[in-house]
Structure 1
Amino acid sequence: MKKYIILSGMVMFLISCNQSQNIKNKALAAEQDQDFFSQNEARPARKPLKKLIFKNTDQFETDENLDRALLSKVASNLNIRYASIKLNETSSINYNDKTAFFVLTIAEHNKKMSKSADEEELGDYFQRKYLFVDRESGSIIAEEFDDNLGYYDNEAIRFSKSHILKDLVQLNEDTSGIAFYTEVSASSRIVLYSEQKFTILALADNEIKKYLYEYPIRLTNGDSNGSGTFQLETLETGMSFSGHKTHGFFDLIVTKNFSYEEAVEGDLENEIEGKTVLQTKKESQKLRFNGKEYVFNRDDRHRFLE
């Protein structure tokens, strides 16, 4: 009987210890759950990444608000006259809480790129410059000229303002890029040429990184008699991110829509009947990141024009 009582007591003691340990484990688990919940409350959930960059070039949402007060500080830090900046061809956007980005167009008076006598009538030379600056002081963090977008005031090829897209683009979960396009066109009624070049760049280690550089997103080619007769081939694109990554950056999906329009003006005196021809074709392309930039081969082939 005495052995039974002792054995029962030991069993009860072990059960009590086990229950006590279970209570402690539950309390610890509850504390960990509460801590995890608190951490997630303090750290808002990351927004889902936006895949669409633009559906077509007619539906761009651009940021046209130029920060002129900050630009004045930037001009002083660059040691250039504010009056030398072509304001209608200068754009800016806030990159983050501390940094802003500018695409600056600066007039270089009497600058000659070569010794050609023809350049005497070309006028001033305009340089395009990319700048990341401190939003408070306007001090320069990174800067770079783009010689491909430099032009003379009176030359036949025209360059538009670089239009910055309103929203930053997420190249991956941690890298935000600034996207903008610039249009280049011929100032002619006979030669029908224009092109929109698309660039995505970012600030990394205080350097400007051009991840996608001057990809042609809209292209027109053709000719006209200056009246109602013309033939014109047009490329329109859309661009979005794929869910797949290469070297840590999302692949880019480009949809291409080619169209061909031919119009002949009617001439009743010569018994020529007017006509219009319209043809379309669709293609797509995937651009992958090679560890430095998105790679593409420029395709200037005409789909309809001979």
Structure 2
Amino acid sequence: MKKTILLSAVLMFLLSCGNNEKIKNETDFQNQDLFSQTKTGLKKPFKKLVFKKLEDISDSEELNLELLSKVASNLKIKYSTIRIRETSSINYDDKTTFFVLTTVEKNKKILKSEEEGEVGNYFQRKYLFVNREDGSVIAEEFDNNLGYYDNEAIRFSKSHILKDLVYLNETTPAVAFYTEASASSRIVLYSEQKFTLLTLDNNEIKKVLYEYPIFLTNGDSNGSGTFQIETLETGMSFGDQKTNGYYDLIVTKNFSYEEAVESDPENGIEEHSNLKTKKEAEKLKYNGKEYAFHRDDRHRFLE
């Protein structure tokens, strides 16, 4: 009898221990699952689409003028030389802000001018990462490709920063912006939007994609109703594969060609128009330094 009671007590004890261990394991699993959900909730989701169409792009509206004034002081330049309407910014993280700064130098001597001593207003573009508190400069770099005189045939627009940062992988943010170059002519139909991605790497500016053409028009016109024009419009997203730590970039290209001729009764020409389209795609891989690409200026329709 005592042996039976003792055996029952041991069995109850073992069952109790098993239940406690089971409860402990279930609790640990639930806690781990909750922890995983919390981490997932805190982690910024990776967004593959950069933009589908150019018309869908939203620009950053951030521009802290008080911070910009501090930046000018730290750069030792006059605040009045900054072209506010051609300057844009975005908060890079909780401590850092990025600026594309446009300044103007008035009456600067024009280099390679046919007339000696000729001067003009020179517009210059600079990239800046600054401290959000005091405006101290963390990294800076001029972009000489975007510098121009106000009397040149080709001019550059404000550099438009995309509203949201672009993530090259799950943890690496990049600033995305585009700048338009255009000809001030009714006869020569040319405009181009160039797209750039850059990051802050060890307090240095790193251009991982530089001046990729995302919009391009080429053609000519008689200034009235007759013209022929070829247009390239792109979309951009990240693929599923990584190369050297960054996701591959997938670029979709939409080419279109439009020709319009106005009527000329004297020469027997009737009014007519023609439209052609073509689609292509390109994959850009990160080579450890940048997303390398070969600029393709081939016309698909124009001769």
Say whether the fold is shared (TM-score over 0.5).
Answer: yes
Corresponding residue number in structure 1 for 2:57: 60
Corresponding residue number in structure 2 for 1:21: 17
TM-score (ref. length: structure 2):
0.92
For residues 108-166 of structure 1, the C-alpha deviation after alignment (integer angstroms, 9 at most, x for no partner) is: 23444745444854512111001111111111111111111111111111100001111
Segments of 5+ residues of structure 2 without an aligned counterpart are none
2:147 alignment partner, SS class: strand
Check 1:88–1:266 CA distance in 2 against 1; reply closer, same or farther (3 A cut). same
Corresponding residue number in structure 2 for 1:77: 74
Is residue 237 of structure 2 the alignment partner of residue 235 of structure 1?
no
Q: Matches of 2:151 and 2:115 in 1, distance apart?
A: 11
2:209 alignment partner, SS class: strand
Segments of 5+ residues of structure 1 without an aligned counterpart are none
Q: Matches of 1:260 and 1:185 in 2, distance apart?
A: 19
The question of whether the paired residues in 1 share the 8 Å contact of 2:107 and 2:119 is answered with: no
Corresponding residue number in structure 2 for 1:220: 217
Q: Matches of 1:232 and 1:139 in 2, distance apart?
A: 47
Q: For 1:278, which of 275, 288, 297 is the aligned residue?
A: 275
Corresponding residue number in structure 2 for 1:126: 123
Q: Matches of 1:120 and 1:185 in 2, distance apart?
A: 27
Q: Percent identity?
A: 64
Which one-letter code corresponds to 2:268 in the other structure? E
Structural mapping, 1:1-306, within 5 Å: 11-12=7-8, 14-40=10-36, 42-45=38-41, 46-112=43-109, 114-118=111-115, 120-121=117-118, 123-306=120-303
For residues 178-230 of structure 1, the C-alpha deviation after alignment (integer angstroms, 9 at most, x for no partner) is: 11100001111111111000001111221111111100000111111222221
Aligned-CA RMSD value: 2.2
Larger Rg: 1
Which one-letter code corresponds to 2:21 in the other structure? N
Which one-letter code corresponds to 2:288 in the other structure? G
Cα deviation, residue 292, structure 1: 1.4
1:108 alignment partner, SS class: strand
Q: Matches of 2:15 and 2:76 in 1, distance apart?
A: 77
Question: Aligned pairs, how many?
Answer: 302
1:203 alignment partner, SS class: strand
Cα deviation, residue 5, structure 1: 6.3
Cα deviation, residue 19, structure 1: 2.3
Which one-letter code corresponds to 2:102 in the other structure? T
